[in-house]
Amino acid sequence: MTKRIFSRRLWKTFLIRGYILHTLVSASPVFAQTLTDRIPNPIAAKSFPCLVKALSEAAITIVVPIAIVAIIFAGLKFIIAGAQGNEGGIKQARTMLFWIIIGTAVVVGSFVLAEAAISFFGATAGPLAC
Protein backbone atom coordinates (compact mmCIF):
# COMPACT_ATOMS: atom_id res chain seq x y z
CA MET A 1 0.00 0.00 0.00
CA THR A 2 2.71 2.50 0.92
CA LYS A 3 4.61 1.51 -2.18
CA ARG A 4 1.61 2.36 -4.35
CA ILE A 5 1.14 5.82 -2.68
CA PHE A 6 4.82 6.50 -3.13
CA SER A 7 4.61 5.63 -6.79
CA ARG A 8 1.56 7.92 -7.26
CA ARG A 9 3.36 10.76 -5.53
CA LEU A 10 6.45 10.12 -7.59
CA TRP A 11 4.38 9.99 -10.78
CA LYS A 12 2.63 13.30 -9.97
CA THR A 13 5.95 14.96 -9.23
CA PHE A 14 7.40 13.64 -12.45
CA LEU A 15 4.44 14.92 -14.51
CA ILE A 16 4.41 18.36 -12.91
CA ARG A 17 8.15 18.86 -13.25
CA GLY A 18 8.06 17.53 -16.79
CA TYR A 19 5.29 19.95 -17.74
CA ILE A 20 7.14 22.90 -16.22
CA LEU A 21 10.38 21.91 -17.93
CA HIS A 22 8.58 21.48 -21.25
CA THR A 23 6.93 24.90 -20.90
CA LEU A 24 10.21 26.62 -20.11
CA VAL A 25 12.35 24.88 -22.73
CA SER A 26 10.05 24.81 -25.73
CA ALA A 27 9.42 28.45 -26.59
CA SER A 28 7.00 29.07 -29.39
CA PRO A 29 6.89 32.27 -31.42
CA VAL A 30 4.21 34.78 -30.57
CA PHE A 31 2.73 36.79 -33.40
CA ALA A 32 1.56 39.82 -31.47
CA GLN A 33 0.42 43.07 -32.94
CA THR A 34 3.23 45.53 -33.50
CA LEU A 35 3.20 48.84 -31.68
CA THR A 36 2.09 51.59 -34.02
CA ASP A 37 1.05 54.41 -31.69
CA ARG A 38 3.26 55.72 -28.93
CA ILE A 39 2.00 57.31 -25.75
CA PRO A 40 3.36 60.85 -25.57
CA ASN A 41 5.45 61.76 -22.55
CA PRO A 42 3.42 64.19 -20.42
CA ILE A 43 6.55 65.54 -18.74
CA ALA A 44 8.19 68.30 -20.74
CA ALA A 45 11.58 67.83 -19.05
CA LYS A 46 14.18 65.89 -21.01
CA SER A 47 16.09 64.59 -17.99
CA PHE A 48 15.78 64.25 -14.22
CA PRO A 49 17.88 67.35 -13.39
CA CYS A 50 15.70 69.38 -15.74
CA LEU A 51 12.61 68.02 -14.00
CA VAL A 52 14.02 69.01 -10.59
CA LYS A 53 14.84 72.46 -11.97
CA ALA A 54 11.32 72.90 -13.38
CA LEU A 55 9.72 71.75 -10.12
CA SER A 56 11.89 74.07 -8.04
CA GLU A 57 11.09 77.00 -10.36
CA ALA A 58 7.39 76.26 -9.93
CA ALA A 59 7.83 76.03 -6.16
CA ILE A 60 9.64 79.37 -6.10
CA THR A 61 6.85 81.08 -8.03
CA ILE A 62 4.33 79.77 -5.50
CA VAL A 63 6.30 80.01 -2.24
CA VAL A 64 7.99 83.41 -2.54
CA PRO A 65 4.77 85.50 -2.76
CA ILE A 66 3.27 83.49 0.10
CA ALA A 67 6.46 84.02 2.12
CA ILE A 68 6.32 87.77 1.52
CA VAL A 69 2.75 87.93 2.80
CA ALA A 70 3.67 85.72 5.77
CA ILE A 71 6.68 87.94 6.64
CA ILE A 72 4.40 91.00 6.58
CA PHE A 73 1.94 89.13 8.82
CA ALA A 74 4.73 88.16 11.25
CA GLY A 75 5.89 91.78 11.30
CA LEU A 76 2.39 92.94 12.16
CA LYS A 77 2.29 90.36 14.96
CA PHE A 78 5.60 91.78 16.23
CA ILE A 79 4.22 95.32 16.21
CA ILE A 80 0.93 94.40 17.88
CA ALA A 81 2.56 92.17 20.51
CA GLY A 82 5.22 94.81 21.22
CA ALA A 83 2.62 97.56 21.59
CA GLN A 84 0.63 95.43 24.02
CA GLY A 85 3.73 94.30 25.91
CA ASN A 86 2.86 90.65 25.27
CA GLU A 87 6.06 88.59 25.63
CA GLY A 88 4.34 85.39 24.46
CA GLY A 89 3.12 87.11 21.29
CA ILE A 90 6.62 88.45 20.56
CA LYS A 91 8.09 84.96 21.00
CA GLN A 92 5.40 83.49 18.75
CA ALA A 93 6.04 86.13 16.07
CA ARG A 94 9.80 85.52 16.27
CA THR A 95 9.28 81.75 15.87
CA MET A 96 6.91 82.35 12.96
CA LEU A 97 9.42 84.63 11.23
CA PHE A 98 12.23 82.11 11.81
CA TRP A 99 10.32 79.23 10.19
CA ILE A 100 9.16 81.39 7.28
CA ILE A 101 12.78 82.27 6.53
CA ILE A 102 13.89 78.62 6.90
CA GLY A 103 11.14 77.39 4.56
CA THR A 104 11.90 80.02 1.95
CA ALA A 105 15.61 79.21 2.18
CA VAL A 106 14.89 75.51 1.60
CA VAL A 107 12.85 76.23 -1.53
CA VAL A 108 15.39 78.68 -2.94
CA GLY A 109 18.20 76.29 -1.98
CA SER A 110 16.59 73.48 -3.97
CA PHE A 111 16.62 75.72 -7.03
CA VAL A 112 20.27 76.64 -6.42
CA LEU A 113 21.23 72.97 -5.99
CA ALA A 114 19.42 72.00 -9.20
CA GLU A 115 21.19 74.77 -11.12
CA ALA A 116 24.55 73.78 -9.60
CA ALA A 117 24.06 70.12 -10.51
CA ILE A 118 23.09 70.96 -14.07
CA SER A 119 26.04 73.31 -14.57
CA PHE A 120 28.48 70.94 -12.78
CA PHE A 121 27.66 68.04 -15.06
CA GLY A 122 28.02 70.23 -18.13
CA ALA A 123 24.40 70.17 -19.12
CA THR A 124 24.68 72.85 -21.78
CA ALA A 125 24.61 70.12 -24.41
CA GLY A 126 23.88 66.42 -24.45
CA PRO A 127 21.26 64.35 -22.65
CA LEU A 128 21.16 66.60 -19.57
CA ALA A 129 20.51 69.84 -21.46
CA CYS A 130 17.30 71.57 -20.52
Higher pLDDT among residues 59 and 130, named by residue: 59
> With 70 as the cut, is the pLDDT of residue 129 above it?
no
Burial class of residue 45 in the structure, from the number of CB atoms within 10 Å of its CB (0-12 exposed, 13-18 middle, 19+ buried): middle
Mean pLDDT for the stretch of residues 78-102 = 93
Q: Name 91's Cβ contacts closer than 8 Å, sequence gap at least 6.
A: none
Instruction: Check if the beta carbon of residue 118 is closer than 8 Å to that of residue 53.
Output: yes
Mean per-residue pLDDT of the chain: 82
For residue 64, what pLDDT is reported? 93
For the entire predicted model, the pTM comes to: 0.59
Higher pLDDT among residues 33 and 58, named by residue: 58
pLDDT tens-digit map of 19-55: 888 777 776 666 666 767 778 878 887 777 778 888 8
Instruction: Check if the beta carbon of residue 20 is closer than 8 Å to that of residue 14.
Output: no
Model confidence at 98, pLDDT cuts 50, 70, 90, reads very high
For residue 51, what pLDDT is reported? 82
Model confidence at 118, pLDDT cuts 50, 70, 90, reads confident
Cα separation of 104 and 17, whole Å? 63
Instruction: Check if the beta carbon of residue 46 is closer than 8 Å to that of residue 118.
Output: no
* Radius of gyration over every alpha carbon of the chain, rounded to an integer in angstroms: 33
For residue 97, CA distances in Å to 9, 65, 86, 105 come to 76, 15, 17, 12
